[in-house]
Amino acid sequence: MDGLFGDDVLRRPAVELPDGAHHVPRWLTLEQQRWIVARFREWSAGPVPLRAAKVRGHEMSVRTVCLGWHWRPYAYTREAVDVNGNRVLDLPEWMVHLGRTALVAATGDAHAGDEYTPDTALVNFYDAQARMGMHQDKDERSLAPVVSISIGDTCRFRFGNTENRGRPYDDIDLVSGDLFVFGGPARLAYHGVPKIYPGTAPEGCGLESGRINITLRVTGLTG
Ligand code: SIN
Ligand code: MN
């Protein structure tokens, strides 16, 4: 009984999100989170290291490693041309499956994932100081949904409108294991991460501190 109605569960208010946006709290189990964190350590030791992308000459505070296609502001290539020129690791098949399952979980439609084949994953690492400014995910040629999973420290995630960086927006806490999906009319909504809550990573998630966010996307590119 202890913890069943704990503050960490009850404190999170239900937020009415724009059409096409979905939040599934605690979608991944701790065991799944730990397993993904172990993969994250492998990817970071792979052909292309974690790096802070430069936006107009300024390093982002978030560090990223990509799978399938390498993202840099504002293009995708197979090789990490702004890091070390190496080709990024392939997107593993389990991630495609995870993406399809995520769409079903988010929408409640058993067929929502049938046509979904993400071909890139941007894996972001946030330390306690890292932030991500409001932006649109618009370097993809496809408007298929973005599937986002969070592991480690809780963050404040700001999900806005498709017109500009300002209001209206919703502030949501994304907790370790949470799933967030944005597609349809919300696919090009501005979003960002204004804050990480240090020391909030749950025991057993595989990360002592910091936050991992994985976004699965369809680039719409070939080659
Ligand atoms: C992103 O917008 O690419 C990342 C969002 C997040 O870290 O939740
Ligand atoms: Mn984004």
The contacts of residue 147 (CB under 8 Å, 6+ apart) are 98, 99, 102, 103, 106, 118, 179, 181, 215, 216, 217
Expressed in angstroms and rounded, the spacing between residue 192 Cα and the centre of ligand 2 is 7
Where residue 197 sits, what CATH number does that domain have?
2.60.120.590
pLDDT in tens, 109-128: 999 999 999 999 999 999 99
User: Is the pLDDT confidence value at 159 over 70?
Assistant: yes
Residue 5 lies in a domain: no
Residue 103 identity (one-letter amino acid):
L
Residue 143 lies in a domain: yes
Residue 6 lies in a domain: no
Indicate the pLDDT class of residue 142, thresholds 50, 70 and 90: very high
Question: What is the chain's mean pLDDT, rounded?
Answer: 96
Residue 9 lies in a domain: no
Buried b (16+ CB within 10 A) or exposed e, 90-105: ebeeebbebbbbbbeb
Rg (alpha carbons) of the chain, rounded to whole number: 17
Residue 8 lies in a domain: no
Expressed in angstroms and rounded, the spacing between residue 2 Cα and the centre of ligand 1 is 33
Residue 15 lies in a domain: no
| Mean pLDDT on 147-157 | 98
Domain limits for position 213: 29-217
The contacts of residue 28 (CB under 8 Å, 6+ apart) are 36, 149, 151, 177, 179
Domain count, the chain: 1
User: Is the pLDDT confidence value at 96 over 90?
Assistant: yes
Sign of CA pseudo-dihedral 83, 191, 180, 147: negative
Instruction: Give the closest ligand to the alpha carbon of residue 180.
Output: 1
Residue 12 lies in a domain: no
